[in-house]
Structure 1
Amino acid sequence: MDSTFFISHGTPMMLADDTIHARHFLRLWKKKVLPSPPKAILIISAHWDTPFPTVNTVSINDTIYDFPHPNFPEATYKFKYPAPGSPELAKKVKELLLESGYDRVDEDGERGLDHGAWIPPVHVP
């Protein structure tokens, strides 16, 4: 049986600060709740402003550092998370959005993952 979970956005400090409770929660959640490694992760980012809903169709995502420098430790700006994309899943999501009533859904084959999108998976899968 497939499972669906909602995981909130994370702070870049989760990479550097071991006192952040969400960091520990995600790692414990992975051990205790996650039934198996996910087949796919669908990320909906509030940090990606587009005039129309847009799906990311890249095969490997770049790491986007969309947080002010130097407000965070230097290591947070050097961390790389080349997460695999899923163009097939993105196209399925696009189809579903169009079927649900959206007039237009764009595709983007260049954008990577912003911090709201890459921080949680770093601690889960």
Structure 2
Amino acid sequence: MQPTYFINHGGGPCFFLNPGPMRDGWSELEAYLRDFIGTLDKQPRAILVISGHWEEVRPTVNFGAAPPLLFDYGGFPDHTYRLTWPAPGDPTLAIRVRTLLGAAGIDSGADTTRGWDHGVFVPLKVMFPRADIPTVQLSLQHGLDPATHLALGRALKPLRDEGVLIVGSGQTYHNMRGFMGGGGSADPAAEAFDAWLRAAMTDGATRDRSLIDWAKAPGARQAQPHEDHLLPLMVAAGAASGEQGQIAFHGHAFGKPISGFRFG
């Protein structure tokens, strides 16, 4: 059975900039993502990604056979808009995702034209540079309800026995004012929220309830003013509901703590 993961996808295409402050600020995360494939017991046959950069009225599956890249960022050098990551899509897996959601009573949609946003192609280009594993993206659902997204994950758990790696791609800290204005200084609220997350994610017995009530955690709204980048964690955790979690990564970016998790 494949585990599921929540990863931080970093600041846009910073991993592909020349050395300098913008890239250096993400150096710990970049090193982890580059070594990610070595943490897997076996290579997945396919990857399902849930990114914080795609929301729809109902969960929607990307059916593209060869999705283009969606350069949904601005202000970066020209070469970052010419990046490539030509991994194939997997329409058969997309059908399977919708079938599993339907069996759980979850209405879903299909999209045949949308490209992969940078929450998909930026980290996966670092993690799987050969771009040889079929990949499918699933959207978040408007409203960003934690219980709803945990249920999405639970519905998709059978994919793990089918060799599919489920990856939630977001940020455990996603306050852009904090990133840009913190100057790398200590941030007690951010540290408190990250410590809470690290404790809560390792306990399979209580993790779901903790995630439903995440906004009550210390420092929660300072770390996540808008929780779109936290919801992929709910899906990844839901796909391993009740199973033990592990802290797969812990580091800092521009002085803010960020953590990644493995479930199952």
Q: TM-score, normalised by structure 2?
A: 0.43
Partner deviation per Cα, 1:83-118 (whole Å, 9 max, x = no partner): 21111111111111112221x211111111000111
Matched, 1:9 2:12: no
Find the partner of 2:31 among 11, 21, 24. Answer: 24
Q: Which structure is higher in strand share? A: 2
User: Please, what is the CA RMSD of the aligned residues?
Assistant: 1.7
Map 1:1-125 to 2 at 5 A: 1-10=1-10, 11-16=12-17, 17=19, 19=24, 20=26, 21-31=28-38, 33-68=39-74, 71-102=75-106, 104-125=107-128
Query: Which one-letter code corresponds to 2:124 in the other structure?
Result: P
Greater RCO (Cα-Cα under 8 Å, separation 6 or more): 1
**Structure 1 unaligned blocks of 5 or more:** none
Match of 2:30, SS? helix
1:66-85: CA deviations, max 9, x gaps? 012xx212211111222211
- 3-state secondary structure, aligned to 1:43: strand
Counterpart contact for 2:63–2:111, Cα < 8 Å = yes
Q: Which amino acid aligns with 2:73?
A: F
For 1:6 and 1:47, how far apart are their aligned partners in 2?
Answer: 14
Alpha-carbon contact 1:63-1:118 (below 8 Å) kept? yes
Distance in 2 of aligned mates of 1:91 and 1:110? 15
Do the aligned partners of 1:62 and 1:83 also contact (CA within 8 Å) in 2? no
What is the number of equivalent residue pairs in this alignment? 121
Q: Are the counterparts in 1 of residues 2 and 44 from structure 2 also a CA contact under 8 Å? A: no
Task: State the distance in 1 between where 2:116 and 2:67 align.
Answer: 6
What is the distance in 1 between the residues matched to 2:44 and 2:30? 19
Give the % identical residues. Answer: 37
Shift of 1:15: 1.8
How many Å separate the matches in 2 of 1:22 and 1:92?
32
Q: SS at 1:97's partner residue?
A: helix
Q: Which runs of 4+ in 1 moved over 6 A?
A: none
Relative to its length, the structure with more helix (as a share) is 2
In structure 2, stretches of 5+ residues that fail to align are: 129-264
User: Which moves more between the two structures, 17-26 or 87-96?
Assistant: 17-26
Report how far residue 26 of structure 1 moved.
0.9
**Aligned counterparts of 1:106 and 1:48: Cα–Cα separation in 2:** 13
The 1:80–1:29 alpha-carbon spacing in structure 2 relative to 1, beyond 3 Å, is closer
